[in-house]
Structure 1
C-alpha cells in the first residue's frame, strides 16, 4: 500500500500548495509542468513495453488486445462520457474542481495498473509516477478551487485500496504471463497518454482502457479449458 499512500499524500500536498498560491499558476508554468509530465509518462510507457514484450508468451496478444479494446471503448464512448460528465459540472465552483480532479486521478492506466503491480510484485513505479502527475494536476486545481480539493485524496485512497485488495485476493491468477501481458498493454496506454499530454498525437486513451480486460479474458479462458 506504500504507493497508494504516497499517491494520496501527493494529492494532499498538491492541493495545499496550490491553494497557497491563491492567484493560480501562470499559463506558461502550467504548460511547462504538463510538458515535463508528458515526457515522463511517454518514456515510462515505452520502457514498460520494452521490458515485458520479450518475455511475452503470446507476442501478438497485445495487438489484439489494443484492437479489440479500442473498438469496445469507442462503442461505449468512454472518452465522450468522461468529457460530458466534466462539462456537466462546469461552472459549479468547488464541485467542478472535485469532479474533474477525482476523474483525472482515478480513471487512468497508472491508477488502475499501479495498485495491481504493487500488490503482486511490490513494484510501486507506476504509483510513484502517478503520484507525481497527480501532484502537478492538483497543484493547478488547488490554485483555482482552493483547499477543498484535498477531499479527492480520500476518494483515490479508497479506489486504489480496493484494487490493491482485489489483486491480492486474486494473486495466484494474476501472476506470471498475465501480469506480463497487462504490463505491455498498459505501457502502450501510458505512452499514448503521454503523447496526448504533449499534444503530439491526440489519443482518446480512455477509449482504450477496455484493452486491459482482453488479456484477463484470454488467460481466464485458457484456465477454464485447462490449457
Structure 2
C-alpha cells in the first residue's frame, strides 16, 4: 500500500498548493484556465479512447452502466453529499461545483492503464515504481486542476485511496479478470467519460457524468465472454 499512500499524499499536497495559488488568480484568468483544462481533458479522453479494441464492448458497457447509474441517481446523491462543502467553497461565478471538480479529478487520476497495472503490480509483487511515477504526475496535475476546479479536486483524494487501495488489496483475486484486453476496454470506456467531462468544462454540454461511473465496472465482465 506504500505506493497508494504516496499517491494520495501527492494529490493532497498538489491540491493544497493549487487552492492557495487560486486565491491570487483573477477571475477572468481562472475562467480561461478552466477552459484550457477542459480542452486538455478532451484530448486526454480522445487519446485513451483509442485504446479500445472492441466497439461492441464499449456500447454494451455504456448501455448497462448508464442504466445502473441513472437508476441509482449517483449524480444526485453526490451533489447532495457535496452541498454543504459547496455552499462554502463554490466558485463565485458558479461555473464549477464541488461535485464536478470531484468527479473530474477522480476520473483523471484513476482511469488509465498506469493506475490499474501499477496497483496490480504493487499488490502482486510489491513493486511500487509505476505508482510512484503516477504520483509524481498527479502532483503536478492536482495543482493545476485545483487552481481551476477548486476544493473538489482535493476531495477526490478519497476516491483515489479507495479505488487504488482496493485494486492493491484485491490484486490476487481480480488479476485474472483484468487482462490486457479488459484493461484496454476499461480505459476506453473511462476515457469516453473523460471526454464528456471536458465538454462540460468548456460549457458545450451539461452531462451528468457521475451517473455513468458504473460503466467502468462493466468491460472486465463483458471481456470474459467476448
- 1:179 corresponds in structure 2 to 183
For residues 162-200 of structure 1, give each alpha carbon's deviation from its aligned partner in whole angstroms, at most 9, with x where no partner exists: 134046332232022211211111111111111111112
TM-score by length of 2: 0.71
The CA deviation at 1:160 is 4.6
Q: Specify which of 71, 78, 81 is matched with residue 74 of structure 2.
A: 78
Q: Label 1:65 to 1:140 Cα distance change in 2 as closer, same or farther (>3 A).
A: closer
Question: What are the ranges of 5 or more consecutive residues in structure 2 without an aligned counterpart?
Answer: 90-97, 122-129
Q: Label 1:129 to 1:187 Cα distance change in 2 as closer, same or farther (>3 A).
A: farther
- 1:110 corresponds in structure 2 to 108
Q: Specify which of 114, 131, 135 is matched with residue 143 of structure 2.
A: 135
The CA deviation at 1:133 is 4.4
The CA deviation at 1:5 is 3.5
- 1:30 corresponds in structure 2 to 30
TM-score by length of 1: 0.70
> Matched residues in 2 for 1:200 and 1:48: separation?
21
Q: Secondary structure at the match of 1:172?
A: coil
Q: Equivalent residues in 2 for 1:37-186 (5 A)?
A: 37-50=37-50, 52-53=51-52, 56=53, 58-91=54-87, 100=98, 104=102, 108-114=106-112, 115-120=115-120, 122=130, 131-139=139-147, 155=158, 158-166=161-169, 168-169=171-172, 170-186=174-190
Q: Secondary structure at the match of 1:108?
A: helix
- 1:19 corresponds in structure 2 to 20
Question: What are the ranges of 5 or more consecutive residues in structure 1 without an aligned counterpart?
Answer: 94-99
> Matched residues in 2 for 1:118 and 1:201: separation?
33
Q: Secondary structure at the match of 2:14?
A: helix
Please say which structure displays the higher CA radius of gyration. Answer: 1
